[in-house]
Chains A and B, each alone.
Chain A
Amino acid sequence: MTRQEFIDRLFEGAKKAGIEECEAYFVNSDSFDVDILDQNINTYSVSESGGMCFRGIYAGKMGYASTEIEDEEAIDMLINGVKNNASILDTEDGESIFEGSESYPNVNTYDEETASVPASEKVAQAMELERLVKAVSDKVLRVDGCGVTSGASSVRIVNSKGLDVSHTSTVYGAAVAPIVSDGGAPSFAFELKFSHNHKDVDIRQVAEAAANKALESLGAVSIPSGTYKCVLRNDMAATLLGTFAGVFSGESARKGMSLLRGREGEKIASDALTLTDDPLYEGGFATRPFDAEGVACFTKDVIKDGVFNTLLHNRETAAALNRKTTANAAKQGYAGKVTVAPTNLFIRPSDISPEKLLEQMGEGVMITSLMGMHSGANPISGDFSLGAKGFMIKDGKKAFPIEQITIAGNFYDILKNIRAVASDLKFGHPGQSSIGAPAVYIGEISVAGK
């Protein structure tokens, strides 16, 4: 059965079964990964995968079902799944099928050449990456992961109201995690670079950045517990922002899990903070023309000069809270319900260099590694207490590396306490590749150490 036949028969069957309006959401992707150890292929993985989610309004409520096989049996399973699931829902107010936006922005996320780089070239590049990282210093013992990954994925949304949109993107990346030692306890760091275009991935830069990060943290020590002034390096500012991005979700607010509900227009952060969600950001990891409901995407400030401007919404959460959608409908993969998520979410940089930012702080700590985000950070209360590493800063300069400390605070408080942000905006921490930040001087923070 071709995809089009599958769609036609599914929609026809749904109509007969009493499903008023319906929508099919398809994701197809292919991926390639190679990991090198000691100039041999350690792991090599190739995949083609796809899945589709069907949702429809039955007796006034939206049911969902999904499958990874598009066959006869799947059509029955999807229709029955939608009916059964819709039947037990309590909510009749929210979700609806969207007929489409008037126009969609053009975004540039697909590169034909990137999609067709031969496997042998990617393997050779991963091997070169390992050689490069080892060449940085004799202290680089080995790698705990050194690889190149690539892939392409496409999304298509088709519905009974006539919407039929699709979008394809490519991704190419390199990552390496060197283990270094100068005879004592080993140290470890991780660096990666991803882009839609393979030409943007400079493995030499990745290798040098990774090795230098690992080397500069050798010989780290703990520091006494106390209150310290603190700068979060750009990648860690992004990590913390990504961990708490849920507080800006209209869905969290609707469920009472964000303290920002109904606070639009209030000053919730320092003047130094402007936070932007930009689905059209050139080269962004989450760049897209439409969201998971098929609504045309657009750029908005979530916080502007410290003033809270908007939550992120899909059509359902916007309707529930009497707002307009911000086209932030999202899905994790293809299955499951439409939720809300940021696209390319970042703190706007200033023109202060990161070195100047440290000088501004004078004495304090700079955090370069955070651990335990999934457990030590509570997105509902905003509280966090996280394992950390970094540097002791004295006279505005790195004095010595530190480890075995925790930093603890509250995200909502941090927003208010930000003293300054730097110019070095960076995206691309693993798992949060669409969250970006420059280095941020967050004022004082509680540190537990020795």
Chain B
Amino acid sequence: MLNKSAAEAALTKAVSTGGDFAEIFYEDTRRSRVSRTDDRLDTATASRHHGVGLRVYKGLNSVYVHSNDSSPEGLMKLARLAGEAVADKCENNLAVNLIGSVTPNIHPVEQLPMDVPGARRARLVGDACKAAKAYSNEIAHVTAAQFDWEQHVTIANTEGMFKSDTRVYTRMMIQAIASDGTVNQTGSAGPGGHIGFELFEKKIDAEEQAREAARVAVTMLHAENCPAGVMPVIIDGGFGGVIFHEACGHSLEAAAVAFGNSEFCGKLGQRIASPKVTAYDDGTIPNEWGSENIDDEGNPTTKLLLIENGILKNYMIDRLNARRMNMPVTGSGRRQDYTFAPTSRMRNTYIAAGEDDEEEIISSMAEGLYAKQMGGGSVNPLTGEFNFAVSEGYLIKNGKIDRPVRGATLIGKGGQTIMKIDRVGKKMWMAQGMCGAASGSIPTNVGQPMIRVTDMTVGGRK
């Protein structure tokens, strides 16, 4: 636990050399993981991560220090190091009075995963491996991992904040490999939530997920190489939302916008996307993978409208960039753990359901690519150049699904691509991912209904 009076003393010390704001982020996290490949459960680990990060602002300058030592002496050492880094001649005698508050929890947890016996986890990954293997005799190997973490944080700052929160995450990753001896193809699934172990009893069926991974691997084993060129592309819902995450989401984070490093700078109120596009970044959905109670700066999480009918409405803004931009925070300050200073990040980011009929979206396309499942991607927010991988793709001919293709990558520039969305389907769903950026790797959801882009560059080998 973070000692309140030790935190007050450290915060006072941290701003004593001229800083105008200081914050302590205390963390104690337990993690566990089991992993099985084929018939061997070969990994079972438990770990405890513990430490404290302290930052000081002076205007727009920010200093971050962190350590494993959360004792009162450890805190004072961090405060001294940070204070020295911002030091100028002025002296500051700010009396910090922390007032505790209780954070409301909107993500109920029924079974703390740390308390679930190892044998139960072992059975879960075992059943998943067996289910994937049983799908087809072309499935050569299956890896199934189950992992979870329980993060206890306390955030204190010189404005008097003293808040604690507990975040429980539970997830599974399944990878199936189909092989004919010379070619390997993969399929994967990774369901998870801001939820306890009841995920596997109430929300998802691990064996069903495993069979789905196997289905994709086998389908891709029998697929041809995707042709290269410019063509219309349909991107299905769920993890397909990674296109919005990469093509647009990162460029709406204050971490890019505040420095002028985004193609969407200065475009609030302007049309940046097709009128079919309405998009949110929503941290408030109960038990979703990217949801929170408070962000890692202690601010309540929000449901943020990013784009409404193509018009840019909001950026995602953390505390430091709020200063730079002279705009309010949006509860978007996130970090992997105490070793990172927070910055603006996405939560559950999705294109909202539209009005187009999914069957019509396919039947009205003469020729093109149907990306049923997407892999990950990346973007350079400055230029908007993105790329992402199609993990399950089909060619469409005369409005019908023709044949599976593999090895496709989609590239483009975000601002151009979201203008070219000419269909948005009716059914929206989300999928889980880990997003990596300046403040580390964090859980985020991507989501969308089926959408269609009039033309994209498709990278392939034919």
Contacts and interface: CB of A to CB of B under 8 A. Distances in A.
Nearest to A446: B461
Given A256-B177, A381-B186, A407-B459, A87 B228 contact: no
B209 interface: no
A69 interface: yes
Interface stretch (B44-52, B299-307, B359-367): B44-52
A84 interface: yes
Interface size range of chain A in the complex: 35 or more
B68 A404 contact: no
Nearest to A226: B228
Given A46-B81, A257-B177, A404-B457, A386 B68 contact: no
Given A43-B341, A144-B382, A372 B48 contact: no
Interface stretch (B267-275, B288-296, B371-379): B371-379
B380 interface: yes
Interface in A185-243: 185-188, 222, 225
Interface residues of B, number: 79
A335 B341 contact: no
Nearest to B74: A48
Contact of A63 (B40, B44, B386): B44
Given A85-B118, A387-B409, A337 B45 contact: yes
Interface stretch (B58-66, B103-111, B162-170, B419-427): B58-66
A64 B48 CA distance: 12
A256 B382 contact: no
Contacts of A40: 60-61
B151 interface: no
A406 B457 contact: yes
Contact of B63 (A45, A69, A74): A45
Contacts of A59: none
B412 A404 contact: yes
A406 B409 contact: yes
Contacts of B62: 42-44
Among A77, A185, A376, residue most surrounded by chain B Cβ atoms (within 10 Å) = A376
A88 to B, nearest CB: 4
A335 B47 CA distance: 7
B45 A65 contact: yes
Interface in B128-155: 140-141, 143
Interface in A41-58: 41-51, 53
Contacts of B401: none
B89 interface: no
B426 to A, nearest CB: 28
Nearest to B457: A448
B228 A408 contact: yes
A449 B339 contact: no
Contact of B389 (A53, A67, A375): A375
Contacts of A144: 259, 261, 382
Interface string A244-271: 0000000000011101000000000000
A87 B389 CA distance: 39
Nearest to B35: A337
Nearest to B340: A45
B387 A386 contact: yes
B42 interface: yes
B229 interface: yes
A50 B459 contact: no
A43 B439 CA distance: 12
Contact of B382 (A188, A382, A406): A188
A409 B411 CA distance: 16
Contacts of A383: 406-407
Contacts of A119: 85
B336 interface: no
B37 A66 contact: no
Interface string A370-409: 0110111010111111110000000000000001111111
Given A40-B61, A49-B67, A380-B186, A446 B462 contact: yes
Nearest to B33: A336
B101 interface: no
B93 interface: no
A87 B118 contact: yes
A2 interface: no
A447 interface: yes
Contacts of B219: none
A84 B120 CA distance: 12
B261 A408 contact: no
A392 B69 CA distance: 54
Nearest to A389: B385
A448 B81 CA distance: 52
A41 B377 CA distance: 31
A371 B378 contact: yes
26 contacts: A44-B85, A47-B65, A47-B66, A66-B48, A68-B48, A81-B46, A90-B36, A91-B41, A91-B42, A94-B42, A119-B85, A186-B383, A337-B45, A371-B387, A374-B376, A374-B378, A375-B377, A381-B185, A383-B407, A385-B389, A386-B387, A387-B411, A406-B411, A406-B457, A407-B459, A410-B461
Interface of A: 37, 40-51, 53, 63-69, 74, 77, 81, 84-91, 94, 119, 142, 144, 179, 185-188, 222, 225, 255-257, 259, 335-337, 371-372, 374-376, 378, 380-387, 403-410, 446-450
Given A50-B68, A376-B377, A405-B459, 15 more contacts: A37-B259, A44-B64, A46-B64, A66-B47, A84-B118, A85-B46, A90-B40, A91-B41, A144-B261, A335-B45, A372-B387, A385-B389, A403-B385, A404-B413, A446-B228
